[in-house]
Every structure is written in C-alpha cells, then in structure tokens.
Amino acid sequence: MLIMYAVRHIPTGRFLPTGKKSFTKLEPEEATVVPPRLHISYKRAAMAMHAWCRGIHVATWDWWSSDDPYSNAGGPYVDDISVRPVRGRCVEHMEVVEIKLLVKED
C-alpha cells in the first residue's frame, strides 16, 4: 500500500486537482471529475494548501543574455512572483488528508 496526501476543501469535500496550469489558478474539483493532486508527504501537501490559500501566484518572466556576442548564454528566468489574493480561500476551510493507494498484484 502506498500512502500519499491530498488537499480537501472541507465544506464541499472537493480536492485540489491535478492540472497543467499552476495549481493556485485551479479550484477544488470532485475526485470523480478530475483526479486529486497527490503529494508524497504531509508537509508538501500542507505547503501546497497554504500556497493555494494565499492566492494565485503569477510569475513575471524576463530574458537574460551574456555581454559576449559569441556566447550562447542566455535564456528566460523568473524575475518576480506576485500573489493575487482570492476571496473565500482560507486555511480553515481546507485540510490535508491521507490517500491510500492499493496496487493490485496479478
């Protein structure tokens, strides 16, 4: 049995979902509609819960380059991360729950 952790919205029973977008942009979903976002430790799930409750995290990207015209050095980097609060998101309405995965042997 494998134990993982997920973040559940207490009033609705919905979970923070998996997704391709930043999870702070997503709202809790029914586990039968979108699989829950799973974490390998309680601590990581709690950190995700607190980040989600703070609001939507928005990264500002910039491009750096070398002063050397013959260098290939350069690329995108995160210049700043800002957080836009979302009304109604609070830690008191969320909880970290244990998810037990059972691997069926043939």
Domain ranges, ordered by start, for the chain: 2-101
**pLDDT score of 64:** 67
What is the helix, strand, coil percentage profile of the chain, to 5?
Answer: 20, 40, 40
**pLDDT score of 21:** 75
**pLDDT score of 73:** 62
**pLDDT score of 44:** 97
**pLDDT score of 81:** 83
Mean pLDDT (the chain) is 89
The list of the chain residues with pLDDT below 50 reads: none
Q: How far apart are CA 29 and CA 13, in angstroms?
A: 9
